[in-house]
Structure 1
Amino acid sequence: MNLRPLRPTDLARLVELNDAAYPAVPITPPEEMTALLGQADFTFGVVDETDSLLGFLIGLRPGADYASENYRYFDSRGADFLYVDRIVIDATVRGAGLGRMLYDAVFALARDEARAEIDCEVNLDPPNPQSLAFHDRLGFRRVGEQETKNGTVTVALLAALL
């Protein structure tokens, strides 16, 4: 397995992986995924030996013009952070260490940039206990909770201090 930045040619596979992970992440049509990639400050894809995308991570730095309620929460705190907007792993390879591989890259980037923390959110409702446990093992701690998407989703707002 290798890491590389996401490419425009990954779009169809990104949408396929993303939408298969619903409700952990929102359904995202190709044009919205293209816009998100255009706003992203950093991306990582984990690929196999044939360069087939098995998972991805999309993130932003502070100060982005990004409408996400969760991103705005972290940006308003004034912390020096990297924000993980979404991380998705193909269901057929979950548990194989690919999520940790992607987060290792984000932690390395945060250390290189002397950031104070890495931030993300995980669904509480609809529940995502596997993701909460995964983030807990990586050192993330709950710093808040909020309802999003007009009260249809409740998230735990998480931060891992560096």
Structure 2
Amino acid sequence: MAISPIQPSHHAAILRNNAQFVHWLSPLDDMALSALLGHADYAQQLYAGEAALIAYDGNGPYRHKNVDWLSARLENYIYIDRVVIGASAQGQGAGRALYADLETTARARGHTHVACEVNTQPDNPGSHAFHRALGFDPIGDVERPNSVSVRYYVRKLP
């Protein structure tokens, strides 16, 4: 598996897969994806964009309600904003490989934690199980009326 930076040639696959799983992810078009990537501290992919992970330094300039919630509780973390694994890449270890690579990068940059959120409404049981299996612990739930509700997870880096 060759993990490499997300390039413009990968955008179509990422956008197609994001649309397939948009009920668990926020909508995304090419302009919004480019903006996310412009702020990302980690943006890597596998299989020509069929699997991708985008993350931000929790102490960096990128602000979002999830980053703000986590920053009130954590220091020195990297925030996983978006993981998109298309059907053709599922079950091949792509998610685990991207998370392992992110953790290596995060440790090298001095981060002590990796954090993310997973939907509880609409619920994403596969993602909850995946994160628990990787050693992520839940640190809080936020219910947002008329919106997506989430559970926040954190993993202390070894």
What's the offset of the Cα at 1:145?
Answer: 1.1
Change (3 A) 1:122 1:68: same
Q: Displacement of 1:32 after TM fit?
A: 1.0
**Structure 2 counterpart of 1:123:** 119
Residues 22-44 of structure 1, C-alpha deviations (whole Å, 9 max, x = no match): 21211112111111111111111
**Cα pair 1:89 1:98 within 8 Å, conserved:** yes
What SS does the aligned partner of 1:16 have? helix
Letter in 2 for 1:104: A
Is 1:91 paired with 2:84?
Answer: no
Conserved 8 A contact 1:66-1:72: no
**Would you say the 8 A contact 1:4–1:44 is kept in 2?**
yes
Aligned residues: 157
Output the aligned Cα RMSD: 1.5
Corresponding residue number in structure 1 for 2:44: 44
> Can you give the 5+ residue segments of structure 2 that lack an aligned partner in the other structure?
none
Question: What percentage of residue pairs aligned between the two structures are identical?
Answer: 31
Shift of residue 151 of structure 1? 3.6
Secondary structure, aligned partner of 1:136: helix
Which range moved further: 65-74 or 105-114?
Answer: 65-74
Question: Which residue identity is paired with 2:52?
Answer: F
Within the candidate set 52, 57, 77, 1:56 is matched to 52
Distance 1:15 1:110, change over 3 A: same
Q: Supply the distance in 2 between the matched residues of 1:65 and 1:100 (Cα, whole angstroms).
A: 27
Q: Distance in 2 between matches of 1:115 and 1:65?
A: 16
Q: Which residue of 1 aligns with 2:28?
A: 28
- Is the contact between residue 4 and residue 45 of structure 1 (CA under 8 Å) also seen in structure 2? yes
Q: Which amino acid letter does the alignment assign opposite residue 5 of structure 1?
A: P
Task: Tell me the equivalent position of 1:156.
Answer: 151
**Alignment CA distance shift 1:114-1:65 (3 Å):** closer
Task: Give how far 1:20 is off.
Answer: 1.3
Please, which runs of 5 or more residues in structure 1 have no aligned partner?
A: none
Deviation at residue 90 of structure 1 after TM alignment: 0.8
